[in-house]
Structure 1
Amino acid sequence: MNANGIITLTTDFGLQDMFVGVMKGVMLGIAPDARLVDITHDLPNQSVDAADFVLAHSASYFPPGTTHMVVVDPGVGTARRMIAVACNGQFFVAPDNGALSSVLREADCPVIHEITNANYFTPSPVGNTFHGRDVFAPIAAHLAAGVAIEELGPRVDDPVLRPELSPDVSPGRLVGRITYIDKFGNAMTNITRADISTAFARAKCTATAGPQTSRLVSTYTDGAPGTELIALINSWGLIEFAVNQGHAAQFADLTVGQEVMLGSSDK
C-alpha cells in the first residue's frame, strides 16, 4: 500500500492552545508536501469512545493511502503502547487505548505495529505530556512520506479494543445507547436502520430517551421548533434524537451512555 500524502488529525486538544499548530509544524518539517486535514479537535476531553466513533464515521470517506492520526491519550507518558495500523487501504496512528476499535473490527487482516523506533520520533528528548508532538505527528508524517510500517517497531496481535455495545434487538422492541452527541446537541445512538427493519418489519415505532417518548420522523423540520424531542434516522444510518432548531441533549437531559428504547406504536 502506498501513502498518498494526506494526513488527517483527530484530537481533543481544541484550538485555543498551540498543540495542533505545533503538531502540524512537525509534520510539515518531515513531509513538506503533505496535505493536512482536520477531522476535529473538539472531542470531549479524554473521551476515547468519542474518538473511536468519529474516526469510524470519517475514515472511509478519504482516498486509499491516507494516514489518520488520532491523539486522545489519557495515558500519555505511561507504559501504554502506541501503534501504527495498515488496514482498509489506509494507515492509522494512535495510542493503543481503543481509539481504533471500530476500525480494527471492520478491517480485513489489519497489520499492526507497536511504535518503538525512536529514529522516527522528534530529535529532541521525548517528553511525558505531549506525545502528539514527539511521537504521533512525526510517525504519521513518516508514513505519509513513504516509510514502511514495518520500520516502526514489532508486530502486535492483541490491540486494545473497547467493549462492543450492540443494541438488544427483539421483535417489536429495540434497546440501545446514546453513543455520541454532536455540536448541535443531536444524540446519536448505536441503533441502525437495519436494526429497525429487523425489529419492526412493517410496524410503526416510537423512540424513548429517559422519560420522553418521541415520534420517529423523517427530517428535523417534522418536529415542533424548540419544543419537541424527535427521533429520526440520520445520514449515518443511525437513530438520532434531536430538537428542531434546538439542542436535544440540553432539552431532554441526554448523556452519552444513556439507554434508549424503540417500541411498537399503534398509531
Structure 2
Amino acid sequence: MHDSGIYYTSTDDSGYSWTPPAEIGNVGETALFEVRAFGSNWILDDQDHIYAIVHQFFGGKNLAALIVSKDQGISWSDPLPLNAEDVEAAWIAVVGNELHVFVSENAQVITHRYSLDGGDSWSPSVKVADSYLPWLYGGIAVAHDSLGRLLIAYPEEGDIWTRLWDGFQWSTPVNVSQSPQQLDFWPRMVISEGNQAHLVWYSGYQELPLYDVLKRLDQGEYEVRYSQLELDAPALATSPYPTTMPAAVVTSTPAGDSNSLTQASPS
C-alpha cells in the first residue's frame, strides 16, 4: 500500500512483469479526486520522452509542475512550476515535437503555452478563454488534426466552446452546445481520419449537484450529448476492418497457473 501520490512503473514484456513503482509526485489525500478528475495528465512525444503534470498542495494552494523523463522513466527532471497562484488543473498535449500546456488558473482563466525543445524553453503564456472551470466540470478536451493543429473544447458560460490553434494564433471561439438554461460540462474529444472531430459532453440543469452525476444520468436529469465537426484538413486513410476471424494461436500454460487453458486452432 503506497501513500497518496503519483507513481510510475513500466513494462517491456507486454505486461508480464513491471518495474517497482517510483513516486514522481506528491498529492494531498484530500485532493486525489480533483487530480484524477481530468484523466491521465501524462503523454509521450515522438522521441519517447515522457511528460507528466504533478500537483503539490502547499499553503492551501494547488501548485502544478511539469516533469520530464528522457530515459523511459528511469530518471526525471526537477519539477518546472507552471504557476505562482492557485491552479485548478493543468493539461498537456504533444504534436510532433511540440509540447503544449494548458492551465486553469484560479478556476477562472485558461492559458496556453508551448515548447519546441522538450520543455527547456517556452513561449509566452496566452489566455485562451475566460472559463469558470472548477474541477467538478471535468476540464477541457484537446486533440489534433492531420495538419498538426490543436482543437480544444472547454466549458464557458454554461456552454461548450471550441477554438483551433494553427501554430500561430487561436481561432474565434465557436459555441457548440448552445443549451440555454442548461449546464454543459466535462467535454471529451477525439479526431478520426485526420479531420473528423467527435465531441461528447454532459448536459443538465445548473442547480443539480455534480457529485452524483451518474445517479442523475440514470434518472434522466443529465444527458450525454454528441457533436461532430469536419475540419478543413486532409483526410487520412483508415485501416479496413478484418473480414475474417484470425486463427487462434496455441500458447503454453504459464508455470504455476493451474487455471490457465491452452487454446487450439479451429480445424
TM range (shorter): under 0.3
Q: Which has the higher contact order (CA 8 A, sep 6+)?
A: 1
More helix by share: 1
Q: With structure 2 as the length reference, what TM-score do the two structures score?
A: 0.27
Q: With structure 1 as the length reference, what TM-score do the two structures score?
A: 0.27
More strand by share: 2
